[in-house]
Amino acid sequence: MVEENQNEMNGQQGLDGVEVNQLLTGTVSRVDEKQALIDVGYKYDGILPISEVSSLHIEKVADVLSEGQEIQVKVIRLDQEKDEMIVSKRAVDAEKAWDELAGKFESGEVFEATIADNVKGGLVVDLGVRGFIPASHVERHFVEDFSDYKGRTLSVKVIELDKEKNKVILSHRAVLEDEADKQKQTVLDKLEPGSVIEGTVQRLTDFGAFVDVGGVDGLVHISEIAWNHVDKPSDVLKEGDKVNVKILKVDKENERISLSIKATLPGPWEQATQDFKIGDVVQGTVKRLVSFGAFVEVAPGVEGLVHISQIANRHIGTPDEVLKEGEEVSVKILDFNPEEERMSLSIREVQDEKQKQETKKEVAAYQAEESNANGMGVTIGDRMGDLLKKFKS
């Protein structure tokens, strides 16, 4: 009985002083398809089964190990009768990995991981334990096909860790979002209200356009797109357009930027100084009728007043006796003050001028007719006689 107990103790201690759970450093002496032999300095090599090589599934041992490579292994089983020592590389890697991952999870450390495989729902990495990057945590944008990620190295951080369940969840998207947030703060610190910079239209909505100004999106409200009225931003802009924008306001706390495109363009009255001068006759649209006259738009954002006395060449009591809103009219510019954004217009003078021109044409036609008639020996009396005959008949 004493001898059996002694043999049992010797078995627990292992052959040649080797014990189960002991860590050994050795050299790969032979690589077979499903196992490797590890020379750990004892009278026989340790056997490393393919299932104990890696935390991930591998097809053959040579995918991970090569002869002459030095590795650390853990003794997981001893067999005295067969003189076998079964060792595990996976157990050593996992023990180290859990300690390291716990520290990285606590600190939020970003580290590099090489993609070992793509599986349904995401990507797999070998960290000494199996790490998983869910599809929704690979990029900030949707990725349809992950096949080209195998072999790539991504910066990741641990977002979930559970040793008991052997769960390690990683995220590359979280790293990208952190970088974007830092970039956003850098940009926000540099942006100065009043400055003009170039941006790219990223997205159009019913109420305006979001423009990228260096990694941060700012809003150009629909009222700030153009000087003239805009029904829909898509009528004027499209995604990808390069535009100059003026920074109106920067709210660093709420990360909001207000931008204007129209503020970078010549104002309507500034442009009007190049397009109009006193005495010009131009087309306009009646925008509003008031008791003392009518406001007529002669260019987007440029309205002039037609005083009631300048609406018609006859007396009228109210502008709506002659005009209606939306009507197209010809007006003459009587006075123009772009600094004060004022313009005085006249419909009556256009009508008077038109009447004068028609009268001149009638007189010229009559004179030409008289000249022709005199050349044929026909007198005014003769012509009057002809007219009387026509009248009587």
Structural domain includes residue 147: yes
Which pLDDT does position 16 carry in this prediction?
62
Structural domain includes residue 383: no
- How many structural domains does the chain have? 4
Backbone torsions φ then ψ of 20, nearest 5 degrees: -65, 140
Which pLDDT does position 324 carry in this prediction?
94
Please tell me what DSSP assigns to residue 262: G
Structural domain includes residue 393: no
246 and 288 share one domain: no
Q: State how far the alpha carbon of 222 is from the alpha carbons of 29, 118, 246, in Å.
A: 73, 44, 14
153 and 201 share one domain: no
314 and 284 share one domain: yes
Q: pLDDT averaged over consecutive 10-residue blocks of the chain (393 residues)?
A: 38 60 91 91 87 84 90 88 86 89 94 92 91 95 91 95 92 94 86 94 95 91 90 94 95 90 90 92 95 94 94 92 94 94 95 84 77 59 49 43
112 and 79 share one domain: no
Which pLDDT does position 375 carry in this prediction?
58
Structural domain includes residue 185: no
Q: Cα separation of 347 and 356, whole Å?
A: 14
pTM: 0.53
Question: Which amino acid does the sequence have at 10?
Answer: N
CATH of residue 32: 2.40.50.140
The answer to whether residues 225 and 210 touch, using CB atoms and an 8 Å cutoff, is no
Structural domain includes residue 373: no
Range of the domain at 170: 108-177
Which pLDDT does position 385 carry in this prediction?
52
Give the list of residues 6+ apart from residue 264 with CB closer than 8 angstroms, or none. 196, 244, 245, 246
Structural domain includes residue 134: yes
Which pLDDT does position 369 carry in this prediction?
76
Q: Cα separation of 53 and 67, whole Å?
A: 14
250 and 278 share one domain: no
245 and 311 share one domain: no
Asked which of 210, 230, 264 is the last residue of a domain, the reply is 264
The answer to whether residues 243 and 263 touch, using CB atoms and an 8 Å cutoff, is no
Structural domain includes residue 251: yes
Structural domain includes residue 357: no
329 and 302 share one domain: yes
303 and 250 share one domain: no
297 and 341 share one domain: yes
114 and 127 share one domain: yes
78 and 127 share one domain: no
Q: Is 255 exposed, middle or buried (0-12, 13-18, 19+ CB in 10 A)?
A: middle
Q: Produce one character per residue of 123-162: b if its CB has 16 or more CB atoms within 10 Å, e if not.
A: bbbbbbbbbbbebebbeeeeeeebeebeeeebebbbbebe
